[in-house]
A and B are shown apart, each in its own frame.
Chain A
Amino acid sequence: MSDQNLPAIYAKDLIKSYGSFRALKGIDLQVHSGEIFGFLGPNGAGKTTAIRCMLDMIRRDSGAIEIFGKDPQIDSVAVRDLCGYLPGELRLDENASVKSILNYLRRLRQGGNDCSENILQLASRLDLSLESKIKNLSKGNKQKLGIIAAFMHNPKLLLLDEPTSGLDPLVQQTVLELVKEAKQSGATIFFSSHVLAEVQSVADRVAIIKNGEIVEVGVTSSLLSKRSWRAKIKFGSDDSGRKAMIEALKDTKVLKVSDDGRIYDIGIEGDVDSFIKCIAAFEVDYLEINKPNLEEIFLSYYGDYNS
């Protein structure tokens, strides 16, 4: 099988524990080569643990994991050579300069002139001075350095843990552009983020991880489209009869009614046509119908967590 046909990331029944705490409870995951894959979950869900298993920084208890067909535990150097990694919390030698750190990392990658040129280009796009000392950098600027280190060698697989964390909105946009450009040049991007809107805007597929288990995985667009419509409607006057009429509609459910009986939250599975025709018989002050976004889907899995 050629590299292009191999999944970029393949995990089967991946289990990892810290002492008696099981951080990953048998993860099954397949990330296709060339796609942008969003990995969602709150702190402690197991995102970073999964990424660190992929780079052989931590050793799995059981299960299998492969990066482009290579087992990180057996061929860690080859796997790391294919990857660019941005950790969720980037820590660096505070007394070094940006330039010396990047040169060090470039040498570790045996990177030549292309790598040096990439560093300069990326630093220019991200507006980062290479002469600064790490200890003088803000969190955002340190993050920029991490992004340069991850992208500088044009890796086949980018593992980005919260890539836009600490960045201002303009730089966030630049980073998302870099992600899209990397995809266009054939790279696979696996990234976790708390900013679900940005995952929704760039990810081809997403997985949601909860308490060390993957609870949802799929194409971002179909994940959104298969969800029911949500309608919020405010009627002009009180009329107890209309609730029964709406509930009588097929695939329609009244989720919530305000105390004064005028404002309804309604869930609609499938077609909205019959619902629109039904409420046309009443006086309507306000109507809002939409599909849930990724954030709402995410929160639906994390109801317990948020409460």
Chain B
Amino acid sequence: MNNVLTIAFYSLRRSFWIILGWGIPLMLLGIITIPFYDLVAENEKQLRPVLNTLKPLLKSFIGGDEAEQVFTPEGFIALRYFAFLPVVMGIFGSVYGSGLLAGDEEKGILDFLMAHPISRAQMFWGRLVAFFISLTFIIGLGWLGLWLGVLKAESMIFSPLKLILPYISVFAVTWLFACLSLAFSMVMPSRSAAAMFSGIIVLAGYIITTLSKAIKGLEAWALFSPITYFQGNAMVGLELDLLMKLLIASSLFIFFARRGFGSRDIRVAGDGGWKIPLLDPR
């Protein structure tokens, strides 16, 4: 346990600039975006007819049938602020998760660290704990920005606690993609391949979930998209079953990643272990 904390603390220190680099823009996004609600509320009469004339496919990208909720404070936050956040944070999770172990492995740093009296399990959990805390800080900065934005908007009154509900869902989606990417990085030939595949799933999931609001045939496919389980409108009520589905899937990916890391070779650049077996010309 002691070593897990040592690893987590050191990894967290290394993540300092990542936390600021992602957390501050997320905070600014809230501060800048949310006060625009005052303008939307003022111009509701002019905007509502425009919204009604949009074709269903186009309308699906701004919330589908729920698009008209943009005129309510909760709806505005869900549609204008949280709608793209799972994609942005999903990409972040994919990049970070793939590099959690494979990044240092490719650089050859892990090889040196693992020569010390630490088990693979300790290294794995230490890094994962560090990511959990980093993500909490980033989400925390985002939530702070959202709250400051709400304070700045004249026609919005929400308690800080209520604002945290959609962010719990953002956390769960980001966590899921990070765990997925981590699991990929344990079986794929490189960190970048793992990040790329996970990133493709983020984008494909977003498109399928969005279009499924207009194209009925995609509804079944949308069940496999993690974005479908994201609750940008959690301020009106967080559905725990959706949250649990994301967390259960994440736990499965963690299980596979842990097994992968525990049973395979620690690779170093030029080691010869990076080739996909079927494509290995040797």
- Seen from chain B, the residues whose Cβ lies within 8 Å of a Cβ on chain A are 2-3, 6-7, 10, 14, 107-109, 111-120, 263-266, 268, 271-273, 275, 277, 280, 282
Question: Contact: B111 with A57, CB < 8 Å?
Answer: yes
Does A81 have its Cβ within 8 Å of any Cβ on chain B? yes
Question: Contact: A109 with B117, CB < 8 Å?
Answer: yes
How many A-B pairs with Cβ below 8 Å? 82
Task: Please provide the 3 A-B residue pairs with the shortest distance between their CB atoms, ordered closest to farther.
Answer: A91-B108, A85-B115, A81-B117
Q: Which residues of B contact A81 (CB under 8 A)?
A: 117
The minimal Cβ–Cβ distance linking B133 to chain A, given in whole angstroms, is 17
Question: Contact: A109 with B277, CB < 8 Å?
Answer: no
Question: Contact: B108 with A107, CB < 8 Å?
Answer: no
Question: Contact: A55 with B280, CB < 8 Å?
Answer: no
Residue of B nearest to A108 (CB): B116
Residue of A nearest to B2 (CB): A110
- Which residue, B3, B116, B271, B275, has most C-beta atoms of chain A within 10 A? B116
Q: A19-B277, A57-B114, A77-B118 are in contact. Are A108 and B108 (CB under 8 A)?
A: no
Residue of A nearest to B117 (CB): A81
Question: Contact: B265 with A76, CB < 8 Å?
Answer: no
Question: Contact: A108 with B14, CB < 8 Å?
Answer: no
Measured in the bound complex, the distance between the Cα atoms of B14 and A20 in whole Å is 38
Does A131 have its Cβ within 8 Å of any Cβ on chain B? no
Name the contact of B265 in the complex, choosing from A58, A83, A104 (C-beta under 8 A).
A58
Question: Contact: B272 with A91, CB < 8 Å?
Answer: no
Q: A18-B273, A59-B265 are in contact. Are A83 and B115 (CB under 8 A)?
A: yes
**Known pairs A19-B280, A87-B108, A91-B108 / 13 extra A-B pairs, C-beta < 8 Å:** A19-B272, A20-B282, A55-B114, A58-B273, A59-B263, A77-B117, A81-B117, A87-B115, A89-B108, A91-B111, A108-B116, A109-B117, A110-B117
Question: Contact: B282 with A108, CB < 8 Å?
Answer: no
Measured in the bound complex, the distance between the Cα atoms of B282 and A307 in whole Å is 23
The minimal Cβ–Cβ distance linking B104 to chain A, given in whole angstroms, is 8
Residue of B nearest to A91 (CB): B108
Measured in the bound complex, the distance between the Cα atoms of B268 and A69 in whole Å is 27
Q: Which residues of B contact A78 (CB under 8 A)?
A: 117
Measured in the bound complex, the distance between the Cα atoms of B273 and A20 in whole Å is 11
Name the contact of A93 in the complex, choosing from B109, B118, B280 (C-beta under 8 A).
B109
Question: Contact: B117 with A80, CB < 8 Å?
Answer: yes
Question: Contact: A93 with B14, CB < 8 Å?
Answer: yes
Question: Contact: A57 with B108, CB < 8 Å?
Answer: no
Does A287 have its Cβ within 8 Å of any Cβ on chain B? no
Measured in the bound complex, the distance between the Cα atoms of B123 and A80 in whole Å is 14
Name the contact of B14 in the complex, choosing from A95, A109, A110 (C-beta under 8 A).
A95
Question: Contact: B6 with A21, CB < 8 Å?
Answer: no
Question: Contact: B108 with A18, CB < 8 Å?
Answer: no
Residue of A nearest to B270 (CB): A89
Q: Which residues of A contact B119 (CB under 8 A)?
A: 76-77
Question: Which residues of chain A in 14-32 are interfacial with respect to chain B, using CB atoms and an 8 Å cutoff?
Answer: 18-21, 23
The minimal Cβ–Cβ distance linking B253 to chain A, given in whole angstroms, is 23
Name the contact of B112 in the complex, choosing from A76, A83, A92, A95 (C-beta under 8 A).
A92
Question: Which residues of chain A in 42-93 are interfacial with respect to chain B, using CB atoms and an 8 Å cutoff?
Answer: 52, 55, 57-59, 76-78, 80-81, 83, 85, 87, 89-93
27 contacts between A and B (CB under 8 A): A21-B282, A55-B114, A57-B114, A57-B115, A59-B264, A59-B265, A76-B119, A77-B117, A77-B118, A77-B119, A80-B115, A80-B116, A80-B118, A87-B111, A89-B108, A90-B108, A91-B111, A91-B112, A92-B112, A93-B14, A93-B109, A95-B14, A108-B6, A108-B113, A108-B117, A110-B2, A110-B117
Q: Which residues of A contact B282 (CB under 8 A)?
A: 19-21
Question: Contact: A108 with B112, CB < 8 Å?
Answer: no
Residue of A nearest to B273 (CB): A18
Q: Which residues of A contact B6 (CB under 8 A)?
A: 104, 107-108
Q: Mark A264-305, 1 if CB is under 8 A from B, else 0.
A: 000000000000000000000000000000000000000000
Measured in the bound complex, the distance between the Cα atoms of B279 and A20 in whole Å is 12
Question: Contact: B112 with A55, CB < 8 Å?
Answer: no
Question: Contact: B265 with A20, CB < 8 Å?
Answer: no
Does A105 have its Cβ within 8 Å of any Cβ on chain B? yes
The minimal Cβ–Cβ distance linking A107 to chain B, given in whole angstroms, is 5
Residue of B nearest to A149 (CB): B112
Residue of A nearest to B121 (CB): A77
The minimal Cβ–Cβ distance linking A59 to chain B, given in whole angstroms, is 6
Measured in the bound complex, the distance between the Cα atoms of B280 and A266 in whole Å is 48
Measured in the bound complex, the distance between the Cα atoms of B114 and A109 in whole Å is 11
Q: Which residues of B contact A90 (CB under 8 A)?
A: 108, 112
The minimal Cβ–Cβ distance linking B199 to chain A, given in whole angstroms, is 25
Q: A57-B266, A104-B10 are in contact. Are A20 and B280 (CB under 8 A)?
A: yes
Measured in the bound complex, the distance between the Cα atoms of B3 and A160 in whole Å is 24
Measured in the bound complex, the distance between the Cα atoms of B15 and A93 in whole Å is 12
